Structure 1
Amino acid sequence: MQGVAARGLAAGVCVLGLVATATHAYAWEPNGDVSGALKSKQVEAKASQKIHFSGHTKSTGTGGGNLKATGGNWAPPPCWYAPTYTPKALKKKVGDSPYSLTGRAPDNGRKKQEVDESIRHYYSSGEYKDFNLKKQGDGSFWAAVPNPNEKDAAKRESCTDLPFWVPNGEQPDRPDALSPRILAALAYESIRVPDTKVELNPSQRQTVNLPTWVWLDKGTYHPLHVTATADLGAGHSISATTTVKPDRLRLQPGTGNAALHPASGECVVNGEGGIGTPYSKGRAKDTPPCGVTYQRATGGNATYPLKASLTWKASWHGTGNAGSDLPSGEYGGEQDLTVQEVQSVN
């Protein structure tokens, strides 16, 4: 039964929207909006299906952006299952319209009608008896929730199982059910880091064969965190906090006629929590712990695009003492530099 009707119900009962709420929080919640023909038949699910984010989210501040995971193919979940419908809400949804399950008009053929009837039977007298109405208040039906930030529609709609019953306070034994681990991944996806803009000396024009010192302002680049909390209903909730910390800065000088310091181009966090060392008077010819020496002038109105990418280490902890590391993330920026053919510092 699951394989026959899952896609129809996933398209009909599990369409969710992104809703902004106060205090820089976001929530995914069911709206029952399947197609233009069903806009007047929205059903408010009584079971809770909200995820709230707090901390350094993408709704706070200006500039900066979200991290891109480095290494491997890790990505936030494209969809998951979460408490969505009470027995009454699901029964109303399934019986609301002759085409509310698939989002198609009733003249789309006999096969569609058979799918509808199979789903109704599944919840009325098959796997469940009368939609579990006798258990109203004791649990909820968990349904598919597409991640609105997932750009691939096929992945976003890949959770196609029918809604299933979960008693209050219980966590489904399946990796795609909402959990602190999934909340941590969604918090990672929501965290916003500042623009990667390095400090330079010289601050204006650079000079051929004299090192350019590079460092990051410790006051701007410090640990950040986002907490994601989900209300599971009946007084139960779970949460996870994802924390990211600056780890290393990768420099790309924008030309092959340059020497990096260190040679790898990666400047790691030092013992004081900073990256690189601010320039001090009298060290113009010293080799900086983090920097670049340009060996050819730019000429005319040309510039070299110095690219600086900051890697952030990530970890999380959540309900039930759960927690572990997450993939490191990277966020970078570019600064156009002019290099002059003068053997002195202005």
Structure 2
Amino acid sequence: MHAVRRPWRNWLATGTVATAIALLPGTAAADWPPTDSQGGQTTGTRQGQALESKVSFSGSTNGSGGNKGKGFVAANNWTPPACWYEPRSPAEFQAAVEAFYNDTVNYPGQHSYAKTAVGQYRDIYKNGKYKNYNLDKAGQGAFWVAAYDPARRNDPAASACSDLPEWVPNGTPPPFRQAITPQILAEAAYSRISIPDSEVSLAPAANTKVNLPTWAWLDKGVFKPVSVTATLDAGGTTLSATVTATPQSMRLKPGTQDATLHPGSGECTINDGSIGAPFAAGSESQTPPCGVTYLRSSGSGTYPLQATVTWAVSWTSTNNAAPTQLPPGTFEGEPQNVTVQEIQAVTR
């Protein structure tokens, strides 16, 4: 058997169709997708059409998801779900399955066993367990299908939802552990949070002296809460959840061990919407509420001072679901190069 290359797996990311193929006599999931005589993959032209989620996102989004956009990272290595189950109306489900079938059967060079397997899968919903995709029951229920977050289509976790689509009458709970809920929508929205670029203000800026306190602050007029809304509108179901990230504290990394942080914990907390306090004339000898005092010259180089802001994350939903707490996230800003010089004394 030819080796199977998997980049194509985004079409079958949740494993729904792969499971159907595996259930057929004499066919293993490892045999899918089929390969041509040279070992190359044969594919259809509608990759992801049937299984890509219908959840949409709006607000301060990074456009990519997976907690990778703009450097916003969830605490404790938490990750949102990569797949779940969503409703599709009979017409939506029919269109998806028929497109899958037509692409497989009509694609040049496709293996006969693949065509047979996909045909048998199609028959479950057209002429087998269900009749004509339950089109005569439109408005009475929906097919619940496995769907994957398009931002994580190549993530192995996207194959966790492998149950075949099932018809669920209105008012009946879907028989899937990961049937989409406001909580799942909130978690998916979390992965889209984009923190705006905002450089920490320093005084003195970029150039300071040994043992001279450097003040650091984030102005509340610049650093504000951000929100992302995830909405599902499919199969007669409309749900949405809005996630809001609010800055809570800032931790400074001075770029050298030869420094004293203010406060000593290094954690500057938020106060009235801002973190730290701007430097004011005449405060040179005072200890800043947030800042650093360098104890050694940077010589001919600089110290990379970096600030990491922790954001608290909360959410609400359209059906007033009781919110489950989401983990805080952190945003690590770009390092700022600080030159530290010795104070030159003049002697006579």
What interval of TM-score do these two structures reach, taking the shorter chain for normalisation? 0.7 to 0.9
> Is the 2:126–2:132 contact (alpha carbons within 8 Å) kept by the matching residues of 1?
yes
Cα distance in 2 for partners of 1:76, 1:156 equals: 11
Q: Over residues 278-336 of structure 1, what are the superposed CA-to-partner deviations in whole Å (9 max), with x where a residue is unaligned?
A: 11111111111111110001111x11011100010001111321123211011112111
CA spacing shift, 1:173–1:326, aligned 2, 3 Å: farther
1:172 to 166, 171, 174: 174
Q: TM-score, normalised by structure 1?
A: 0.76
Shift of 1:202: 0.6
CA spacing shift, 1:200–1:115, aligned 2, 3 Å: same
> Is the 1:85–1:141 contact (alpha carbons within 8 Å) kept by the matching residues of 2?
yes
Match of 1:218 in 2: 220
Cα distance in 2 for partners of 1:213, 1:178 equals: 47
User: For residue 188 of structure 2, what is the amino acid of its counterpart?
Assistant: L
Q: What percent of counterpart residues are identical?
A: 43
1:50 aligns with 2:54: yes
Cα distance in 2 for partners of 1:113, 1:189 equals: 37
Give the secondary-structure state (helix, strand or coil) at the position aligned to 1:96: helix
Match of 2:26 in 1: none
CA spacing shift, 1:38–1:248, aligned 2, 3 Å: same
1:89 aligns with 2:95: yes
> Is the 2:53–2:148 contact (alpha carbons within 8 Å) kept by the matching residues of 1?
no
1:65 aligns with 2:70: yes
Q: TM-score, normalised by structure 2?
A: 0.76
Cα distance in 1 for partners of 2:42, 2:111 equals: 14
User: For residue 78 of structure 2, what is the amino acid of its counterpart?
Assistant: W
Cα distance in 2 for partners of 1:312, 1:135 equals: 47
> Is the 1:66–1:190 contact (alpha carbons within 8 Å) kept by the matching residues of 2?
no
CA spacing shift, 1:140–1:282, aligned 2, 3 Å: same
Cα distance in 1 for partners of 2:150, 2:213 equals: 46
Shift of 1:89: 2.6
Shift of 1:222: 1.5
Match of 1:321 in 2: 320
Match of 1:339 in 2: 340
Give the secondary-structure state (helix, strand or coil) at the position aligned to 2:275: coil
CA RMSD of the aligned region, Å?
3.4
Cα distance in 1 for partners of 2:216, 2:154 equals: 39
Shift of 1:264: 1.4
Give the secondary-structure state (helix, strand or coil) at the position aligned to 1:38: coil
Pairing 1:1-346 to 2, within 5 Å after superposition: 6-9=17-20, 37-39=43-45, 50-58=54-62, 65-71=70-76, 73-84=77-88, 86=90, 88-89=94-95, 92-93=98-99, 95-96=101-102, 99=105, 105-107=110-112, 109=113, 112=114, 115-116=117-118, 118-124=120-126, 127-150=129-152, 152-168=154-170, 172=174, 174-234=176-236, 236-270=237-271, 272-300=272-300, 302-322=301-321, 323-333=323-333, 334-342=335-343
Uncovered stretches (5+) of structure 1, i.e. residues with no partner: 12-34
Give the secondary-structure state (helix, strand or coil) at the position aligned to 2:216: strand
> Is the 1:201–1:212 contact (alpha carbons within 8 Å) kept by the matching residues of 2?
yes
Give the secondary-structure state (helix, strand or coil) at the position aligned to 1:149: helix
Shift of 1:191: 1.7
User: For residue 219 of structure 1, what is the amino acid of its counterpart?
Assistant: G
> Is the 1:196–1:309 contact (alpha carbons within 8 Å) kept by the matching residues of 2?
no
Cα distance in 2 for partners of 1:78, 1:54 equals: 19
Say how many residue pairs are matched: 304
Shift of 1:258: 0.5
User: For residue 79 of structure 2, what is the amino acid of its counterpart?
Assistant: A
Q: Which has more strand, going by share of residues?
A: 1
Cα distance in 2 for partners of 1:269, 1:122 equals: 58
- Using the TM superposition, name which of 202-211 and 151-160 deviates more: 151-160
Give the secondary-structure state (helix, strand or coil) at the position aligned to 1:7: helix
Shift of 1:155: 1.9
CA spacing shift, 1:164–1:10, aligned 2, 3 Å: farther
- Using the TM superposition, name which of 220-229 and 304-313 deviates more: 220-229
CA spacing shift, 1:320–1:66, aligned 2, 3 Å: farther
Shift of 1:146: 1.9
Shift of 1:81: 1.7
Q: Over residues 156-206 of structure 1, what are the superposed CA-to-partner deviations in whole Å (9 max), with x where a residue is unaligned?
A: 233222122233566525342222111111211112112242111111311
CA spacing shift, 1:44–1:69, aligned 2, 3 Å: closer
> Is the 1:80–1:178 contact (alpha carbons within 8 Å) kept by the matching residues of 2?
yes
Cα distance in 2 for partners of 1:195, 1:228 equals: 23
Shift of 1:54: 2.2
Match of 2:38 in 1: none
Uncovered stretches (5+) of structure 2, i.e. residues with no partner: 1-14, 23-40, 64-68
Shift of 1:117: 5.8
Shift of 1:97: 6.0
> Is the 1:210–1:343 contact (alpha carbons within 8 Å) kept by the matching residues of 2?
no
Cα distance in 1 for partners of 2:173, 2:62 equals: 29
CA spacing shift, 1:85–1:49, aligned 2, 3 Å: farther
